[in-house]
Amino acid sequence: MTDMDAYPDGRRQSAERLMAVQSAALACQNLLLAAHAAGLGAGWLCAPLFCPDVVRAALRLPADWEPQALITLGHAADGGKPASRKPLSDLVINR
């Protein structure tokens, strides 16, 4: 988060922080898509948000890094099975 812009007011600083978290989420999404394209299974775990000190120590991360997520990657033991998905029409508004 050290690369974030600094604002004098909490409202804009909060938006800046949210943008940083959104950026990390998008990077993770790209990783998940790349894993899928490579034939790997992947899962997003939010656990690091609950124990950032443990994650920083285990991965020897700089003290000012905020672990956002843990992405597990691997080959499915049984080949995997497609997950059921909601229809797109349940998730988007078409105007």
Ligand X SMILES: Cc1cc2nc3c(=O)[nH]c(=O)nc-3n(C[C@H](O)[C@H](O)[C@H](O)COP(=O)(O)O)c2cc1C
Q: Where do the H-state alpha helices sit in 38-81?
A: 52-59
Q: What distances in angstroms separate CA 52 from CA 31, 45, 46, 67, one per listed residue?
A: 21, 13, 11, 6
Region from 1-9, 16-24, 37-45, 57-65 binding ligand X, contact rule CB under 6 A: 37-45
Give the residues across from 43 on adjacent strands: 72
46 binds ligand X (CB under 6 A): yes
> Site for ligand X (CB under 6 A): how many residues?
6
Per-residue x/- marks for ligand X, 62-91, CB under 6 A? ---------------------x--------
Cβ-based nearer residue to ligand X, 26 or 45: 45
Cβ-based nearer residue to ligand X, 83 or 91: 83
Nearest to 48 by CA among 39, 57, 40: 57
Region from 4-12, 15-23, 40-48, 57-65 binding ligand X, contact rule CB under 6 A: 40-48
Say if residues 70 and 48 touch (Cβ distance below 8 Å). Answer: yes
Amino acid letter, 48: P
Binding site for ligand X (CB under 6 A): 43-47, 83
